[in-house]
């Protein structure tokens, strides 16, 4: 079952949980997320940043779409951190059901203008759009973009942005960063800011940089009003840690014997995230 982001997150918002959005760069990571979702009766979002899209090539998404359409589970196929109109059109042409335009490092008015332009195009073909206000940090060890100094989302901008652009979801900056945090670095989410934003807009809210944050803060953020949590580094780190361990311990280089255990290890991380976000077993809510 292939849904757009608006369809996916409206159910999550109504039932107070968040859906995991996993950056599944290749077939092994796609399998880990899809198979765990099917095993646990859980909705999920598969997403690809522009660099991941170009690595996979558009032909790969013919397989991805077929796999998701053949499943009974609710899935969305999403472009993460599109930086240009062309990025978003590239994904729409490939059959993605939602796209994100990340204009967070632009001036506010320019961000609104281009986000609206993309939303006007995407909505014609039933594709959802995610926008972003504020900036996400970066640890420098991730595929996703980010900045050194986080600019927190200004609640005063939220209503104007959503009303003008007609976005279907809004990524907010409350203190997370892309990548794995260095040892002894302790991120702290501004949950009071999230609560304030949630009271002034009905649009589903998105948390980027969801990997490697304290579980209790992520869980609370989902309870307060986050409906989509992006996970990339956590699943990739587990996958490649397992691959590296097998190669080092056995010297085996046969893909099934190396990748299958890595997929199984990654499924455990995916399962834990689904449980943390409150989405585990919630596929039955989608009709």
Which residues form the catalytic set? Answer: 80
* Whole-angstrom distance, CA of residue 155 vs CA of residue 43: 29
Q: Which of 278, 169, 166, 282 shows the shortest CA–CA distance to 224?
A: 278
* Whole-angstrom distance, CA of residue 172 vs CA of residue 250: 44
């Amino acid at each position: 079952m292939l849904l757009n982001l608006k369809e996916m997150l409206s159910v999550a918002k109504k039932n107070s949980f968040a859906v995991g959005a996993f950056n599944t760069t290749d077939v092994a990571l796609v399998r880990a997320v899809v198979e765990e979702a099917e095993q646990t009766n859980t909705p999920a979002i598969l997403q690809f940043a522009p660099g991941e899209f170009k690595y996979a090539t558009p032909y790969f998404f013919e397989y991805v779409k077929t796999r998701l359409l053949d499943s009974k589970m609710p899935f969305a196929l999403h472009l993460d951190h599109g930086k240009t109109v062309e990025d978003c059109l590239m994904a729409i042409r490939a059959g993605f059901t939602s796209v994100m335009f990340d204009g967070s490092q632009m001036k506010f008015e320019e961000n609104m203008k281009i986000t609206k332009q993309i939303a006007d195009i995407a909505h014609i073909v039933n594709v959802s759009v995610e926008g972003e206000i504020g900036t996400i940090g970066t640890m420098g060890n991730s595929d996703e973009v980010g900045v050194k100094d986080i600019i927190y989302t200004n609640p005063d901008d939220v209503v104007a942005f959503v009303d003008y652009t007609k976005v279907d979801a809004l990524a907010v900056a409350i203190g997370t960063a892309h990548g794995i945090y260095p040892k002894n670095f302790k991120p702290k989410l501004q949950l009071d800011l999230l609560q304030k934003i949630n009271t002034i807009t009905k649009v589903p809210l998105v948390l980027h940089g969801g990997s490697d944050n304290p579980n209790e803060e992520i869980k609370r953020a989902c309870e307060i009003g986050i409906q989509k949590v992006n996970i990339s580094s956590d699943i990739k780190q587990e996958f490649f840690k397992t691959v590296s361990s097998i190669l080092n311990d056995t010297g085996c280089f046969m893909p099934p014997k190396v990748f299958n255990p890595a997929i199984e290890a990654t499924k455990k991380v995916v399962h834990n995230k689904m449980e943390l976000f409150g989405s585990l077993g919630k596929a039955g809510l989608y009709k």
